[in-house]
A and B are shown apart, each in its own frame.
Chain A
């Protein structure tokens, strides 16, 4: 690699005897120095990303259990078992899909609504933006999850306000919704992206529509939404990917209970890896999760030609 790049570059430079040679030598040195400067990153990438990825792929075909240094190959047994002999696995897949399909559209809708509110020229609007973005900075953190548990606890804030005594976190019908509400509350980053997208839509479109007598709803439906579809598409893909990997909230707030209704994929993976110590099985699960996310993303990409509108296509 280090050799190939400077050679190509030096060919582009007009050859002029010694000058060319010196130049290419210096280029080469520059390149090596460049690689040297990024070597901390490269080494960390190898040590903490690439090698663990390869290791987990290998482990997926073993019965490795962390404490025991010896393991044996089990072929596809881990994968087979997931789909044929592990009812909790199926439950975790169901719970994750339920969460993703409920939380992600709601979060995007909420983010868009707030972005539209914050797109109006008002005083203090930039401080509102900062304030509304704050939940998503702290949202994934342990502290918020602990707070959420307090809020929805039996003697928590929600029950105090409603004057009820409902075990929100213990009821199989409501527990997952406390997590979905938390996800919706963390609308900050898609909101910012929506806001940037809204700023791109030319004012004239609205003015022209206003003159033609279109009301606010019609303007939203026929101007804002179509022009925003590339942004919606981007947000949808990003949120979908992160949605499938949800862990912290469920780990702290419900721990998968009640009746495994909040046993999200990543949480079950963690349980298998660090509670049951079945690292091989957990690795296999991780690769299936990757496949699920890849398939879902591919589906969204496939569908995009039907609903995503790029301005340039018109011309």
Chain B
């Protein structure tokens, strides 16, 4: 009998060991509701002064370059705050969201997470992020040098859920040497799709290379198209498409197909078969294309991959005839404090350091986009090399004319893109299985169904 008791005791120990691993994950999920976060802060602040180092968890996605820079900044922060020990998780874009959604489901999110503009609303609507206004108010998070236009992307319903880490805008990159070789002029800042087609075709015919690399069917350009016409692809509550008239999309699709058929740009078939999707492998880098489009922060990677002696011109995205700017200033990514954070105050301190410290930003070197703090921007000015300077100048150049920042993607966006936009709309069109009219109405019909369902 006694031995059975001891066996039972051992089993209990084993069970306790296993279950305790789950325990901290369960606790914070229900505990800190956004409204009473203040109470939680006081206790953690009291704890942090008690000498015991607290553990702050930070997560981000990105390239190796970003990982190295971010880790260096984390070390700087730890030196300044010996009572804070930071553990970090980083990964590529795809893995990041698999990881973080799993952590969210397990109630085990890090304190600080890098957030994307496209997902911010979804995460906020599910109560996974905490507003930071109180930290901005009490000075923990100093936003005095940041303009409202740079912050507005992180606000939802008037509350600040994400601090912008850098400003980006889409940009058409033109190989200046190829342009000169073909004897052509750089386009005006307000060039149209017709100009784009003409220039790309001329480059293709004169040089025998792709006039434009590819990617014209990407959903980003679909968004730009309607933004430029003063509309948006989604309606306000995300239950349906936000535009009434399909004609401009039909015209655009027809143009893309025409360019593909003429060999001016890569066909869809060739795009899919591309061996690499990273920006370093863009056809403009290898000299096989004369134009491409990227996000402005990627010009650094493109110029570095292209090597010495290459010259690029940056111009805004083309717009439909008679449209306004197809560009907007996008917050490249945010740092957000999750609602499952154990140390929200320290999290705010870390975000403040990232935003305002000149030393930290000298390490980060605008890798995430043009910094939002004007003080930091001025301090970095003299240190910039050519592509970075081009990026800063380009943002300054488009800033006065850009269209208003569109709302973040609606809850059904990812669902719409994977299940409708590519397989039902663009691919069958580009592979010649349906007309542009059929494609646009398929997007309307099935897209609306998916959006309505996801918005429930």
Partners in one complex: yes
Complex: A149 Cα to B277 Cα, angstroms: 12
Identify 27 residue pairs between A and B in the complex whose beta-carbon atoms are under 8 Å apart, listed by A's number: A29-B3, A33-B7, A36-B10, A36-B14, A39-B14, A47-B18, A66-B101, A67-B101, A88-B419, A88-B423, A150-B275, A153-B274, A156-B275, A167-B267, A167-B269, A167-B272, A167-B273, A170-B270, A170-B271, A258-B431, A260-B427, A263-B423, A271-B418, A274-B98, A276-B419, A277-B101, A277-B414
Complex: A274 Cα to B97 Cα, angstroms: 8
| B268 at the A interface (CB under 8 A) | yes
Complex: A277 Cα to B7 Cα, angstroms: 44
Known A-B contacts A68-B126, A274-B101; the reply to A259 vs B273 at CB < 8 A is: no
Known: A29-B4, A153-B274, A275-B415. 9 other contacts (CB 8 A): A36-B10, A36-B14, A47-B18, A66-B105, A67-B101, A152-B273, A171-B273, A258-B272, A276-B419
Contact B272 A254, beta carbon cutoff 8 Å: yes
Complex: A154 Cα to B273 Cα, angstroms: 6
| A155 at the B interface (CB under 8 A) | yes
Q: Is the interface of A mostly helix, strand, loop or mixed?
A: loop
Q: Please, which residue of chain B has its CB at the minimum distance from the CB of A28? A: B4
| A209 at the B interface (CB under 8 A) | no
Complex: A91 Cα to B415 Cα, angstroms: 17
Q: Please, which residue of chain A has its CB at the minimum distance from the CB of B427? A: A259
Measured between C-beta atoms, what is the minimum distance from A150 to chain B in Å? 5
Across the interface, A169 reaches (CB within 8 A) one of B4, B272, B415, namely: B272
Top 3 nearest A-B pairs by Cβ distance? A153-B275, A170-B269, A170-B273
| B364 at the A interface (CB under 8 A) | no
Complex: A170 Cα to B268 Cα, angstroms: 7
Q: Mark B90-133, 1 if CB is under 8 A from A, else 0.
A: 00000001100110110000000000000000110010100000
| A32 at the B interface (CB under 8 A) | yes
A153 proximity list for chain B (CB < 8 A): 273-275
Across the interface, B275 reaches (CB within 8 A) one of A91, A155, A258, namely: A155
B270 proximity list for chain A (CB < 8 A): 154, 167, 170
Q: Please, which residue of chain A has its CB at the minimum distance from the CB of B456? A: A63
Complex: A153 Cα to B414 Cα, angstroms: 27
| A264 at the B interface (CB under 8 A) | no
Across the interface, A154 reaches (CB within 8 A) one of B97, B122, B123, B274, namely: B274
Contact B269 A258, beta carbon cutoff 8 Å: yes
Q: Mark A253-287, 1 if CB is under 8 A from B, else 0.
A: 01011111001000000010011111000000000
Q: Is the interface of B mostly helix, strand, loop or mixed?
A: helix
A260 proximity list for chain B (CB < 8 A): 423, 427
B3 proximity list for chain A (CB < 8 A): 29
Q: Which of A205-262 contact B (CB under 8 A)?
A: 254, 256-260
Measured between C-beta atoms, what is the minimum distance from B277 to chain A in Å? 10
| B62 at the A interface (CB under 8 A) | no
Contact B272 A170, beta carbon cutoff 8 Å: yes
Measured between C-beta atoms, what is the minimum distance from A313 to chain B in Å? 49
| A290 at the B interface (CB under 8 A) | no
| B11 at the A interface (CB under 8 A) | yes
| B287 at the A interface (CB under 8 A) | no
Q: Which of B138-162 contact A (CB under 8 A)?
A: none
Measured between C-beta atoms, what is the minimum distance from B290 to chain A in Å? 18
| A292 at the B interface (CB under 8 A) | no
| A138 at the B interface (CB under 8 A) | no
A33 proximity list for chain B (CB < 8 A): 7
| B215 at the A interface (CB under 8 A) | no
Chain A residues in contact with chain B, CB under 8 A? 29, 32-33, 36, 39-40, 43, 47, 63, 66-69, 87-88, 91, 149-150, 152-156, 167-172, 175, 254, 256-260, 263, 271, 274-278
Contact B269 A43, beta carbon cutoff 8 Å: no
Q: Please, which residue of chain A has its CB at the minimum distance from the CB of B107? A: A69
Known A-B contacts A170-B268, A172-B431; the reply to A276 vs B418 at CB < 8 A is: yes
Known A-B contacts A67-B122, A167-B270; the reply to A149 vs B128 at CB < 8 A is: no
B275 proximity list for chain A (CB < 8 A): 149-150, 153-156
Measured between C-beta atoms, what is the minimum distance from A32 to chain B in Å? 5
Measured between C-beta atoms, what is the minimum distance from B130 to chain A in Å? 16
A150 proximity list for chain B (CB < 8 A): 275
Contact B273 A168, beta carbon cutoff 8 Å: yes
B267 proximity list for chain A (CB < 8 A): 167, 170
Measured between C-beta atoms, what is the minimum distance from B213 to chain A in Å? 13
Q: Which of B372-415 contact A (CB under 8 A)?
A: 414-415
| B323 at the A interface (CB under 8 A) | no
Contact A43 B18, beta carbon cutoff 8 Å: yes
B10 proximity list for chain A (CB < 8 A): 36
Measured between C-beta atoms, what is the minimum distance from B199 to chain A in Å? 25
Q: Please, which residue of chain A has its CB at the minimum distance from the CB of B21? A: A47
| B187 at the A interface (CB under 8 A) | no
A152 proximity list for chain B (CB < 8 A): 273
B32 proximity list for chain A (CB < 8 A): none
Complex: A277 Cα to B122 Cα, angstroms: 11
| B428 at the A interface (CB under 8 A) | yes
Measured between C-beta atoms, what is the minimum distance from A154 to chain B in Å? 5
Known A-B contacts A150-B275, A153-B273; the reply to A67 vs B128 at CB < 8 A is: yes
Measured between C-beta atoms, what is the minimum distance from A19 to chain B in Å? 19
Q: Please, which residue of chain A has its CB at the minimum distance from the CB of B433? A: A259
Measured between C-beta atoms, what is the minimum distance from A293 to chain B in Å? 24
Q: Output the residue of A32, A167, A256, A271 with the most chain B CB within 10 A.
A: A167
Measured between C-beta atoms, what is the minimum distance from B232 to chain A in Å? 22
Measured between C-beta atoms, what is the minimum distance from B47 to chain A in Å? 28
Known A-B contacts A43-B18, A150-B275, A254-B272; the reply to A67 vs B104 at CB < 8 A is: yes
Known A-B contacts A67-B122, A275-B414; the reply to A258 vs B427 at CB < 8 A is: yes
Complex: A150 Cα to B274 Cα, angstroms: 9
Contact A259 B428, beta carbon cutoff 8 Å: yes
Complex: A39 Cα to B4 Cα, angstroms: 16
Contact A171 B269, beta carbon cutoff 8 Å: yes
B7 proximity list for chain A (CB < 8 A): 29, 32-33, 36
B414 proximity list for chain A (CB < 8 A): 275-277
Contact B415 A276, beta carbon cutoff 8 Å: yes
A66 proximity list for chain B (CB < 8 A): 101-102, 104-105
Complex: A70 Cα to B424 Cα, angstroms: 31
A263 proximity list for chain B (CB < 8 A): 423
B418 proximity list for chain A (CB < 8 A): 271, 275-276
Q: Please, which residue of chain A has its CB at the minimum distance from the CB of B98? A: A274
Q: Output the residue of B268, B271, B414, B419 with the most chain A CB within 10 A.
A: B419
